[in-house]
Structure 1
Amino acid sequence: MREITITILGAGAWGTALAQLARANGHNVCLWSRHGELSLKDALEGAQIVLSAISMQGVTQVATAIASIPISADTIFVTATKGLDAATTLTPAQIWQATFPQHPIVVLCGPNLSKEIHQNLPAATVVASIDAEAAEAVQAAFTSQRFRVYTNSDPLGVELGGTIKNVIAIASGACDGLQLGTNAKAALVTRGLTEIIRIGNSWGAKTETFYGLSGLGDLLATCNSPLSRNYQVGYQLAQGKTLAETLAHLEGTAEGVNTAEVLMQRAETQKISMPITTQVYRALQGEITPRQALEELMLRDTKPEYNN
């Protein structure tokens, strides 16, 4: 494999896991943190791939800072952030593309719990872009015997699948925290996928993308693992803790909290039915308890499973 230079922005659990994968493939990796001593300019020197694994809150700020630094015209930008901008409802890839319109933008997303990556457990992910060559370059850089990388031509769908499922993961954690059983959780996750597809379609994403690794795959991983920060938010709320208490003891950022609020803005403007997201948002706001949220979902009007 040809050695390349990769700069990874964000030294949290996900950023360090991706750095570990790239280094194992023999690449020259620079890991940059907003709280470290290395300057952004020095970190980007010679980078052929710049991968952002920073939290949603910092995406615009970091992208703007990089725009003032000379970058090779061949540099590929990769976003591995799962979230939505609160002010604009833009996805991370849309922010990067607006900042660097002449560069290929690739979305990396899948059922990738960072702690399992650090443990060298096998996993798979998706890299998506409208630039097929850029997606294939990122695929080649990260593919290994323990990390299988697929390409996809629907970056919006891949990104939204990994983002919206965080809200469903909060609901799933609450379901387990309330000890509602397997039947209830299966129903929740299945209807959650339907909701994700409905929202994604309204955004312009392809339905089939949500049945792949970044949709159904990521949904299953985060809805079933205590390693998921979003799952933990829902679980702790169901145990009677406040959101503030839960977030204070959480390692890293639970992007689903902010995502739920942004989705509610979109639901109101686009007139999209988001019953699970609505109840998750109300529970996060302290308007209702997780158990009351469940009762409201169960008492909704009966309807066909699919509306053709």
Structure 2
Amino acid sequence: MQSNLNTNTQENLDSSFDSQDKILAILGAGRWGSALAGLARYNGHQVRLWSPSLGNSIEDVVADVDLVISAISMPGVSPTANQIKAIGLRENIPIVTATKGLDTETTCTPSQIWSACCSDHPIVVLSGPNLSKEIEQELPAATVVASLDIDAANIVQQVFSSKRFRVYTSSDPVGTELGGTLKNVIAIAAGVCDGLHLGTNAKSGLLTRALTEIIRIGTHLGGQKETFFGLSGLGDMLATCNSNLSRNYRVGYGLAEGKTLEEVIAEIETTAEGVNTTNVLIEIARREQINVPISWKVYQLLNNQITPQQAVEALMERDLKPEFYEGIIQPKSSDTHQP
């Protein structure tokens, strides 16, 4: 009986989209942007894709749309947001950011950049355990849409929710965005762990301690602790740290095999946001005096300061301490080489 009720409820939800078709502008025609386009079209919405590689006009794409979704890589967020600001959107059109990363120059998240450029529009963060290839294969998945404007989050939830893509709402955009961003750093570490064949015990320990590290950073920067135990935190980390479909995981795995970072990136043939995120995260950790031992070793590894084996040894040989502690660094005059 319960199963039939759930099925009927979902069928009613899916059919309701037919009478609420919207026009969406999706900025970014890569794998993630294309996957989101497929989900929107599945629900009967009209989708306009824009990318510099397509050669079409961004002005034409965003004209009179009901929703703008940004799925561009991190380096393109700021210039694109400024373009949209100059063009101007219809009043109160929600802007959805689906990019996971940190800006190299400002250390800002994508939503912070969009908020600064388009402060008169509600900003919604979309993040979760969403490997785009699986979504393209129409496998079931779930995600979170988070905003300070819950009405805007509800709109986005209804646009994308279907029997194959379950969407939850949240009022914590900061935590939702940081969970999806910071786990990319950990995915590199997970790839190293598997590439060195360290076993299940080691990887379980790594991911558990990594979640503690993500929570420490995320709450310090304004996210809510419970958010990091949800889909956009723990959920996304589990997906990204356990799949060869993850570009960041493949970076770590390749480095563990003895390849250079340049060789690994060339093999992936696309952006691995965790590489840039790691460098920016260490800058933030230094500025805010946050203890990030796992991220620090990933940083050293990516910058050719240690080998994968040395990174593992250093983490295992750290000073003994309680499992849970505050993790804010006490400044030391001699501490000039690490967060």
User: Do the structures match in fold with TM over 0.5?
Assistant: yes
Match of 1:94 among 91, 112, 124: 112
Kept after mapping to 2: 8 A contact 1:82/1:163: yes
Structure 2 matches for 1:157-172, cutoff 5 A? 157-172=175-190
Residue 25 of structure 1 corresponds to which residue in structure 2? 43
What is the Cα deviation at residue 74 of structure 1?
2.4
Give the root-mean-square deviation of aligned CA atoms: 0.7
Q: Which residue number in structure 1 is paired with residue 165 of structure 2?
A: 147
SS at match of 1:282: helix
Give the equivalent residue in structure 2 for 1:297. Answer: 315
Task: Summarize the alignment of residues 169-184 of structure 1 with structure 2, pairs less than 5 Å apart.
Answer: 169-184=187-202
Equivalent positions of 1:199-214 (< 5 A) are 199-214=217-232
- Residues 54-81 of structure 1 show CA distances to partners (whole Å, capped at 9, x for unaligned) of 0000000001111111310121100000
1:108 aligned onto 2:126: yes
1:6 pairs with one of 24, 30, 40 = 24
2:166 partner SS: strand
The whole-number CA distance in structure 1 between the counterparts of 2:269 and 2:193 is 21
Deviation at 1:47, TM superposition (A): 1.1
| Residue 96 of structure 2 corresponds to residue 83 of structure 1 | no
Q: Which of 244, 253, 265 matches 1:247?
A: 265
Q: Are 1:12 and 1:252, in contact at CA under 8 Å, matched by a contact in 2?
A: no
> Does the residue aligned with 2:87 lie in a helix, a strand or coil?
coil
SS of residue in 1 equivalent to 2:268: coil
Question: TM-score, length-normalised on structure 2?
Answer: 0.90
CA distance in 2, matches of 1:252, 1:169: 16
Partner of 2:147: 129
* Residues 206-227 of structure 1 deviation map (CA, whole Å, 9 limit, x = unaligned): 1000000000000000000000
Q: Distance in 2 between matches of 1:35 and 1:66?
A: 18
Distance apart, 1:251 and its partner CA = 3.4
Q: How far apart in 2 are the matches of 1:150 and 1:252?
A: 29
| Higher radius of gyration, 1 or 2 | 2
Query: Does the Cα contact within 8 Å between 1:10 and 1:33 map onto a contact in 2?
Result: yes
Residue 201 of structure 1 and its aligned partner are, at CA, apart by: 1.1
Instruction: Give the unaligned 5+ runs of structure 1.
Output: none
Q: Counterparts of 2:56 and 2:310 in 1: how far apart (Å)?
A: 49
Which whole-Å deviations, capped at 9, do the CAs of 1:131-175 have from their partners, x for residues lacking one? Answer: 000000000000000000000000000000000000000000000
Aligned ranges for residues 218-297 of structure 1 at < 5 Å? 218-297=236-315
Alignment partners' CA distance in 2, 1:86 and 1:144 = 36
Q: Is the 8 A contact 2:92 2:120 kept in 1?
A: no
Length, aligned pairs only: 308
Q: Secondary structure at the match of 1:81?
A: coil
Give 3-state SS (helix, strand or coil) of 2:145's partner: strand
Determine if contact 1:107/1:128 at 8 Å carries over to the other structure. Answer: yes
TM score, norm. by length of structure 1: 0.99
> Which residue number corresponds to residue 82 of structure 2?
64
Q: How does 1:186-201 map to 2 (within 5 A)?
A: 186-201=204-219
Q: Is the 8 A contact 1:48 1:74 kept in 2?
A: no
CA contact (8 A) 1:125 1:148 kept: yes
Tell me how far 1:250 sits from its aligned partner.
1.1
Cα separation, 1, equivalents of 2:155 and 2:238: 28
Query: Residue in 2 aligned with 1:47?
Result: 65
Where structure 2 has 5 or more consecutive residues not aligned to the other structure, the ranges are 1-16, 327-339
Partners of 2:233 and 2:88 lie apart in 1 by 35
User: Shift of residue 252 of structure 1?
Assistant: 2.1
Query: Residue deviations 1:23-68, cap 9 Å, x none?
Result: 0000010011111121000111121110000000000000111111
Deviations 1:207-254 (A, max 9, x none): 000000000000000000000000000000000000011111213211
In structure 1, the partner of 2:329 is none
Give the Cα–Cα distance (whole angstroms) in 1 for the partners of residues 67 and 94 of structure 2.
Answer: 5
Question: What percentage of residue pairs aligned between the two structures are identical?
Answer: 61
Task: Give the distance between the partners of 1:36 and 1:67, measured in 2 at CA.
Answer: 21
SS at match of 2:144: strand
Secondary structure at the counterpart of residue 18 of structure 1: helix
Q: Distance in 2 between matches of 1:299 and 1:159?
A: 32
Whether the 8 Å contact between 1:229 and 1:251 is mirrored in structure 2 is: no
Q: What is the rounded CA distance, in whole Å, between the counterparts of 1:37 and 1:90 in structure 2? A: 28
The runs of 4+ residues in structure 1 deviating greater than 4 Å are: none
